[in-house]
Structure 1
Amino acid sequence: MGGYLNLSQTATLRIDINTPPRYLKLMELFNSKLCAICKGRKLLCGRPTCPILERFRVAKTIEERINRRDIFGSSPPSIFVGEYGYPKVRIGPLVPPIEGNTSHLDSPLKWENKRIKDILYYRSLLVMGEMKADVNVRKSERILSEVQELAMSVRPVDSEILLKKRPILKVLPSEFAPPVGPKAELLDFELTENPKIPKRTDYIVNDELKAETAIMRLYNWSFDEYYIIRLLSAGLLGINRKLVPTRWSITAVQDTIGKRLRKEILHYEPINEFELYFHEFLGNRYAVILMPETYAFELLEVWLKGSLFGSDEPKVIHDYEDFRGIKGYAEETTGAYYAARLSVLESLRQRRRQARIIVFREVTPKYYAPVGVWQIRVGVKKAMGNPVGRFNTLQEALNELKKLLELKLEKYLEKSWILQLRKQRTLDYYLKLR
């Protein structure tokens, strides 16, 4: 059966996995003048590849494997909980049409050597059978119970999903669209083998622990961060248990661990010198400055001209906290804030030191498709393992930083709360000496 188009006011192009190539020409109707002239061939936007056509190429490579209503394969394991319609949400297992060790398809913290196109391919292989569910797990049905068992497994689980229709892969004619796998309404879901559930997971799930306590115990037992996120999403942690949208779970887990690590490092001595770290990952530049002072954290982020959310005059956005933690939610940098903070705090905890921290994130045109907040977590973590140098003064560190970033350093200095605070304190000090 051929593809179909659903043209809405948001200009969303939905394609069946069998959409003929001739429909690609219709992409011209829904994009900017620049895209219409380029057609993905001239790369006039400056990106290394066309983010729109890249999605269609991925869809083409997997169409034969998922062109049916029943999908059997080894779930990585993986589940997804949506946020739209809360407290009635869409939840379901993610099952690829592949058997065997499929853990690499949903292991974000192990994707440090992967390309963006690899991530798009992984996500497109995971077919989601979705159903509506109340976030209150006490109202759950048999299928939700099976999904929870899947979530607790630490090994791929042979699974089978029966869908109402053949899965549809949504391809949005926008460079802003995150990679989304094919999905369809779920009729039935069954685990065809016993999931591998650790005894410690059983203990946590069956005990009445607060979610924060459960998260920290699992973290300190070295469970994979995204495994903990999966358990929280599936409504398996906490006293009053509820399904938690995946996106919320990621931030909740990273924030919870980050808060606990912050309280711990406040008891350690500050570092002795100014330190600079740097790494470039998936088209994102990450630079970290550590200062030999009491703890504070700030994330400075800019989307450069030609990048996904960039403009002709790039603006620096930021969020920050002192030793008491951030007030409310990181409104400007959102989930990136908690991911970046956690990676630096882990490094300081390992050293048993504290520091004043500034993370600089520059998003370049090479980051042509958003792949999730995990890349910030990994990018900053890799930066912390790549020291540029140690310096006696902040000015020396900033002089070296200039060589690593594209945007003028002055733009960052104008926005930075930590640097402005430090400058003001210095002025006050000299005024008192007069």
Structure 2
Amino acid sequence: MTQLFNSKLCAVCKGRKLLCGRPTCPILERFRVAKRVEERLNKRHLFGSSPPSIFVGEYGYPKVRIGPLVPPIEGNTSHLDNPLKWENNTIKDILYYRSLLVMGETTADIHVRRSGRILGEVQELAMSIRPVDSEILLKRKPVFKVLPSEFAPPIGPKAELLDFELTENPKIPRRTDYVVSDELKAEQAIMRLYNWGFDEYYIIRLLSAGLLGLDKKLVPTRWSITAVQDTIGNNLRREILSYPEINDYEVYFYEFLGNRYAILLMPESYAFELLEVWLKGSLFGSEAPSVIHDYEDFRGRTGYVKETAGAYHAARLSVLEALRARGRQARIVVFREVTPKYYASVGVWQIRLGVKKAMENPVGRFSMLNEALEAIKRRLEHPFEKYLARSHILGSLARQKTLDEWLGKNLYRLTE
């Protein structure tokens, strides 16, 4: 993986010539966003309505940095930290939303029983389903930083927290109170909340705040995102294994925030694969982009996702939800192509939403695999033979000669 910025190239370009190939200079874009909100955040004492939102860092574990995120705005601020509402927003919009959320940082032990009043306030904030009027006092004026992360949405300005207080009662559902107070394992708690209709971002917040599980601990936000999406995905995988297979080859496609998502469903028993390419000029792209991938069969994975990380769990969950709704199973290949339009990483939520929208946007159903692959090839930029060469599922089918002799006779059509 290349570095995010090339200092020599940036010095020559100065954000004007776009020598990196991106349509927007990510350095200048973040500077513009910071200047846009600077006056509103240039103070140590802030009062506003938290969306609600919290963040738990991973560095220093088991001593972690945790804090509430509070904007200098009162009222309905839920859109500032709700990816479900960002479907029609641009990357610039999202960077602006996140820049308004000031994080007051404090250090806490992951064992929540050892922490004090401020953590208790943060936990109450995490359980709320509506914005909560909050007050934070910082040691100094917040410093604006946006670090690239493929997991969580960007974090805006932050500073050391001296005090935090909720100035109104949070709206906490009875079912949340029940799950938090009951003796449930984390997986049981996650699935109970999910099946009751709570969205996963709310569940992620509860897990991060140390409210779920038998041995309640703070969980870094990045880990919580993966843990919740992986837990729900594994449960859905086991469920759909009892469903009949689809009847045709199905192709779906959607482009979202500079990411292209093509999904191939095959009329065979469940397996899942994500193939991902960061094209030249994209955020983490290189001069010679390569395909990375991860795979599982009906047994699921026994270890960590090695190459595609959080993108894997986000993409898998969206496809599994669509199959569960239909009462069907399929063999799944997801193609993710990241273009230069994706100039700032905004978190795996965009993969979750992008694949979900793709599953709502069918290209067509096909009786032959070659027809389905042709439909996908037309929508992607990276040489298609490189996808085929890297794919475990498609390569396995070729080796087993279950392509109706197609690969042997027609592979050249996809590599032209």
Give the TM-score normalised by the residue count of structure 2.
0.94
SS of residue matched to 1:279: strand
Structure 1 pair 200/242, CA: closer, same or farther in 2 (3 Å)? same
* Amino acid aligned to 2:292: I
Q: Distance in 2 between matches of 1:200 and 1:400?
A: 45
1:171 Cα deviation from its structure 2 partner: 5.5
1:34 Cα deviation from its structure 2 partner: 2.2
Structure 1 pair 364/108, CA: closer, same or farther in 2 (3 Å)? same
Match of 2:223 in 1: 248
Alignment of 1:205 with 2:168, yes or no, is no
Match of 2:162 in 1: 187
CA RMSD, Structure 1 to Structure 2 (Å): 1.9
The 5 Å alignment of 1:414-425 reads: 414-425=389-400
Q: Distance in 2 between matches of 1:102 and 1:232?
A: 22
1:234-291: CA deviation from partner (whole Å, max 9, x where unpaired)? 0000000000000000000000000000000000000000000000000000000000
* Amino acid aligned to 1:82: G
- Verify the 8 A CA contact 2:369 2:403 in the aligned structure 1: no
Q: Distance in 2 between matches of 1:327 and 1:213?
A: 20
Q: Distance in 2 between matches of 1:318 and 1:380?
A: 16
1:428 Cα deviation from its structure 2 partner: 11
Alignment of 1:92 with 2:92, yes or no, is no
* Amino acid aligned to 2:115: S
- Verify the 8 A CA contact 1:103 1:156 in the aligned structure 2: yes
* Amino acid aligned to 1:129: G
Match of 2:378 in 1: 403
1:180 Cα deviation from its structure 2 partner: 2.5
Match of 1:264 in 2: 239
SS of residue matched to 1:159: strand
Alignment of 1:162 with 2:137, yes or no, is yes
Q: Distance in 1 between matches of 2:187 and 2:369?
A: 37
* Amino acid aligned to 2:327: R
Alignment of 1:53 with 2:47, yes or no, is no
Q: Distance in 2 between matches of 1:337 and 1:190?
A: 37
1:132-182: CA deviation from partner (whole Å, max 9, x where unpaired)? 00000110100000000000000000000001111111256x899973211
Match of 2:117 in 1: 142
Structure 1 pair 292/427, CA: closer, same or farther in 2 (3 Å)? closer
Match of 2:91 in 1: 116
SS of residue matched to 2:41: coil
Q: Distance in 2 between matches of 1:336 and 1:176?
A: 8
1:81-101: CA deviation from partner (whole Å, max 9, x where unpaired)? 000000000000000000000
Q: Distance in 1 between matches of 2:112 and 2:154?
A: 28
SS of residue matched to 1:340: helix
The runs of 5 or more residues in structure 2 that have no matched partner are 406-416
1:318 Cα deviation from its structure 2 partner: 0.2
Q: Distance in 2 between matches of 1:329 and 1:158?
A: 39
Match of 2:340 in 1: 365
Match of 2:295 in 1: 320
Identity %: 77
Match of 1:76 in 2: 51
1:38-95: CA deviation from partner (whole Å, max 9, x where unpaired)? 2111222221211000000000011111111101000000000000000000000000
Match of 2:277 in 1: 302
* Amino acid aligned to 2:268: E
- Verify the 8 A CA contact 2:128 2:172 in the aligned structure 1: yes
- Equivalent of 2:358 in 378, 383, 399: 383
* Amino acid aligned to 2:248: E
Match of 1:5 in 2: none
Structure 1 pair 171/348, CA: closer, same or farther in 2 (3 Å)? closer
Structure 1 pair 78/239, CA: closer, same or farther in 2 (3 Å)? same
More displaced 10-residue stretch of structure 1: 45-54 or 286-295: 45-54
Alignment of 1:233 with 2:196, yes or no, is no
SS of residue matched to 1:170: coil
- Verify the 8 A CA contact 1:52 1:175 in the aligned structure 2: no
Q: Distance in 1 between matches of 2:404 and 2:266?
A: 19
Alignment of 1:130 with 2:105, yes or no, is yes
Q: Distance in 2 between matches of 1:428 and 1:37?
A: 51
Structure 1 pair 176/239, CA: closer, same or farther in 2 (3 Å)? closer
Match of 2:312 in 1: 337
- Verify the 8 A CA contact 1:47 1:368 in the aligned structure 2: yes
1:323 Cα deviation from its structure 2 partner: 0.1
SS of residue matched to 2:156: coil
1:429 Cα deviation from its structure 2 partner: 10
1:166-208: CA deviation from partner (whole Å, max 9, x where unpaired)? 1111256x89997321111111100000000001001001101
- Verify the 8 A CA contact 1:151 1:234 in the aligned structure 2: yes
Q: Distance in 1 between matches of 2:238 and 2:290?
A: 32
1:110 Cα deviation from its structure 2 partner: 2.0
Q: Distance in 2 between matches of 1:111 and 1:263?
A: 30
The 5 Å alignment of 1:271-310 reads: 271-310=246-285
* Amino acid aligned to 1:231: L
